[in-house]
Structure formats: C-alpha cells, structure tokens
Amino acid sequence: MNRPNQSAFTYATALCAAVLTFLVPNCSVAQDADFKLHPDSQVQPGVPQGDIKGPFSWKSKIFPGTERDYWIYVPQQYDAAKPACLMVIQDGLGRAKDWRLTTVMDNLIHKKEMPVTIGIFINPGVVPAANENAEARYNRSFEYDSLGPQYAQFLVDEILPEVGKSYNLSNDPSDRGIGGASSGAICAFTAAWERPDQFRRVLSTIGTYVSLRGGNEYPSLIRKMETKPIRVFLEDGSADLNIYGGDWWNANLGMLSALTFSGYDVNHAWGTGGHSGQHGREIMADAMRWLWRDYPQPIAKGHPPKRRTQLLIPGEEWQLVSEGHKFTEGPAVNAKGEFFFTDSPNSRIHKVALDGTVSVFHEGTKAGGLMFGPNGYLYSTAGPEKKIVRYDTNGTEEVLFENVTCNDLVVLKNGGYYTDPQNKRVWHVDDQGNRTVADEGIEFPNGVIVSPDQTRLTVADTRGRFLYSFRIQTDGTLAHKQRFGFVHVPYDGSDSGADGMTMDDQGRLYLATRLGVQVFDQLGRCHFIIEKPQDGWLANVVFAGPQLDTLYATSGDKVFKRKLNAKGVVPWQAAVKPPKPGL
C-alpha cells in the first residue's frame, strides 16, 4: 500500500469535508454534550483501542481516472493467524469518526458482542482537475447512487485484495458488513444486493433510496425478486430531505415495508431529525450490536410470510442437471416428462431421462428452439442451417422447411408459430404446412408461447422491455396486438434479454431474462422474479418431470432444475382453462 500523492489527498479530503458538512451541518466536537451518546459510543476505561492506519491512496481501473484515500481500522484483538471479519464504510474516516464507529467497535469487540473486525473506511473517487482553471470530477453520486454491480466489483476486485495483502480477511460473506450514510447507504445496500456472495450485513442511515440514479426502484424490486441472504439495519428521521429526487423519509419507510414483506432480517431506528448524522451516531452501538448478533451463525435467505405468487418451496434451490456444454438452449418436454435441450455450438440435442441420466439424442444439427408436437415428434428450429426439422423417437431427422430464418417455435395440434428475429417477423404454419407472416415489427421477436387455453400467443422482444400479446383467430391469424407484459431491465443494460418462455396451469408465464425468471400473471403483470441459477445468459425455461412441477433452465454452459409450487402445461396437449385472474 502506497502513501497518497498530494493531489489525491487534497481532492479526497476536500470532498469528504464537503459531504460531512452537508450531512451534519452543525456538528463539532464541542457539541458532543448535546447528543445522547450510548455508553458504547464513548471511550471506556480498560477497553483496548484499535489502531487506524492510513490514509492510503488508490487509483482505480474499474472507475478509470479516479483517485481516493482509504483508512484501515485494526482492533487490538486482531490475530493474523485467524481470518478477521470486515466492515466497509463509505465516505472514509470522516464518516467513521462522525459515527464514533471505531469506539463502538472497540467496546463491542471487547464485550464479545461483535467479532474481531477489520474496518475499511473509503472515500469516493475523484478525477483530478485537468488544470488550475478546471474543476475536478467528483464521482460520489455516480459511484454511490448508481444501481448495478460496478461498485461491488471495485471493492471485491481492487480494494479487498489490496488490503488482504496485509491483513487476514475472512472470505465468508456472513463475516462481511458494509455501511454508509445518505448516498453511502444506498451504495452499501447495492453492494450487498448485487453481491450477497461477498457482503451480507448492511448498515444504512438516512439512505438515499430516491430518484437520483434509479434507487427509487428498490422497493418494487425487493418485493418481486427472490429473497437474498442479507441482513439490513435502517435509520432515518421524519424531517429528512424532500426535494426533486424524492422524499427520503417515505423512501426509507418504503424500504422497510418491502424488506419486511419479502421476509428479510431487517430492523430500524426512526427519529425526528433531518438529513444529518446525529441520530445515526446515537443509535450506532445498538445498530452494530444487532447486525452482528448471533455471530457466527450464517445469514441465510428469509422466507416471506405470504406472497400472492407463492412459487418457491423452502429448501428447494437450483440443482445442476448437466454441464460441460458450450451454449444450452431450446428446453422441451415430451409426454413422459422427459427433458430435452440443445447445445448448438456442439451440434447436439441432449435428452435427460426421468432418473436424471443425460444422453445424446441427436448429433449433427445446429438446433435452437425445441418443442414436442401431438404426434410425439420433436420439432426444432436450426437457424444457422436455415431450416425447421422434426425428429422421431429414435432421433431420425426429417426436414420440414428449408431456406427459412427462424429462432424459436411453439407447436399446437393444428399447426404452430415460429419467430424470425432477423426480419422482425412471426410466422404461422397451418396443419397443411402452409406458411404465412402472422406479424411484423417487433424489434427482436424471440421466445414464443401460447396461453393454457390456447387462445393467446405471447412473443418476447429480446431488445425491448415488453412482451407482445395476440388473440389467435380460428384460422390461425393473429389479432389485437398489444404491448402486454412490462419486463424489468437491469440497471446496467439497455434491453431485457427476454428469451424463452413457458406457462403453468394458472395462466402464469415464466420468462427467461437478464434479471432472472420473471413470472407474469394473466394480466401481464410481473409478480415475482426467480434468481438466475448462475451468472451469464439465461436462454430458456420449461416445466418437465412426471408431474410437470420442476422448472428446467438452460443457462450458458449448464442446465439446471428447480422444483416449484406450480404445474406446467404442454401446448400440443388439450387446452386448459386457467382460473379467472384477480385484479
């Protein structure tokens, strides 16, 4: 670790001072008597005091051009032979001092009410001014208020490995906490939200969960997305900011409501103050004690008391089915409940038997979308080869159409549909094999599926954020085109990545997207988002197994499955009338 150069220190110190002036406008050491400090926030006789090392400077590659300082708190009880827990705090040593955090940690570690914990107090980045007549670029809002994984990546890939060169840091995510105030608070939450494999304890005071850079989306995402293994402590005051970006007080109340609704381990301390650090300082000892209570018990996923879409079964997680492929796609299920998928780069179609045995069903095809038909044949698009084919039970191929551009398909008793993203078309094929264009204009039509009652066709637009719904007419033509499902898009992406789809007998649609498996009700509303089984592209999903109650997912080089509290339907079988949707 290097000593800071003068420019980095000057800019970072100036920024930190400005931030603390904004958060705590009238704070000074002389005013301590006005605050209701907990005894554990005050130096106690006989309690060993930790050391503060630094400042150290850092020039980031993940945030190019930025310079920043950070400090390291090392408790006296630290033993290099034992991995220490970790607490990362945004806004540097100034924030830690304002909270009296090192004193709190000294006292709680001494009382064994929290484990031996290294503190990293880190400033936001600054891009120094180009010359004396120019202004620096202050990165605080960009780094802290932005959603997405970039800041967590900065910590995990740059700062923690650097500190880890000198100190023995635990790699257990339950041993790692992260906190901050205002924008530093939402930054801490985002780091844990994006990387619960790295951080699971979140300390948030006067959190900026408002519309500065998308933070206002969190309450709805928390309610819809699968519960993550995170513990959260929230603090705010009823006189907090109410400005162009939103109402901080109501935003924090919304966060508490959403976290409680989704079964998170969450606690809070509400006060009457404004956008300052005073109340956070007063409750800091109790907040830290609560965050680290029951240590070393791991922090696990909570379970919501009751969701409207109650799909998950406690203890049932994603399980690996097959690996070692190049790109898996086209999941399909036959009448027995056996599962099939493609690996187009390797020119194979695989079969997964009911006992889990994986075998090669057919080799020598660039198959993409798959679906069984009413005659027991397996139908397939082979986009790179510009053909649509079908296979009998022995894997013998029969070419149905040549010189066609195709991606995915759905097969019905009297024909079917396939998507043609290259030409922005959806095609209909009747029971005589005649092809006609059923729709044009969707930017990138990809996945396609019919409703359980087989009266509506839904098409996914990979490059947009909507699903499109059509009424299937008696002659197979499509009518009443409508933007239907509103698909959630990742913060750092411009499109949804909407790909393959499947349906259950309640009329719910399961869509593979960049965010995970988004589940829509019959009215096109996303009720729930099941987490992806792994990072990378999630191509498609289908229900399979003897009871059609296990969701199979093709994801990059692997295939996964997960048993759900739902039962799938097969388009080529008899129509199923779903229940009337609730409003």
Low-confidence ranges of the chain (pLDDT < 70): 1-35
Same domain, 286 and 361: no
Main-chain dihedrals φ then ψ at residue 240, nearest 5 degrees: -65, 175
How many domains is the chain built from?
2
Per the domain annotation, does 571 fall within a domain? no
Do the Cβ atoms of 11 and 4 come closer than 8 Å?
Answer: no
Per the domain annotation, does 528 fall within a domain? no
Q: What is the pLDDT of residue 12?
A: 47
Chain centroid to CA 369: 26
Distance set, CA 19 to CA 15, 129, 336, 532 (Å)? 6, 19, 63, 37
Per the domain annotation, does 317 fall within a domain? no
Same domain, 249 and 334: no
Same domain, 234 and 330: no
- Give the domain range for residue 353: 326-500
The residue whose two tokens read 């554990």 is 40
Per the domain annotation, does 177 fall within a domain? yes
Q: What is the pLDDT of residue 179?
A: 98
Same domain, 272 and 404: no
Q: Which residues have CB under 8 Å from 143's CB, separation 6+?
A: 63, 124, 125, 150, 151, 154, 187
Same domain, 332 and 262: no
CATH number at residue 353: 2.120.10.30
Per-residue pLDDT reduced to its tens digit, 306-338: 777 889 999 999 999 999 999 999 999 999 999
Q: What is the pLDDT of residue 383?
A: 87
Q: What is the pLDDT of residue 561?
A: 98
Same domain, 174 and 64: yes
Same domain, 92 and 192: yes
Q: What is the pLDDT of residue 11?
A: 46
Last residue of a domain, one of 291, 317, 339: 291
Per the domain annotation, does 287 fall within a domain? yes
Same domain, 197 and 338: no
Burial class of residue 557 (count of CB atoms within 10 Å of its CB; 0-12, 13-18, 19+): middle
Same domain, 284 and 417: no
Q: What is the pLDDT of residue 582?
A: 80
Which tokens is 42 given?
């005050």
CATH number at residue 136: 3.40.50.1820
Last residue of a domain, one of 468, 500, 532: 500
Q: What is the pLDDT of residue 35?
A: 54
Same domain, 280 and 341: no
Q: What is the pLDDT of residue 197?
A: 98
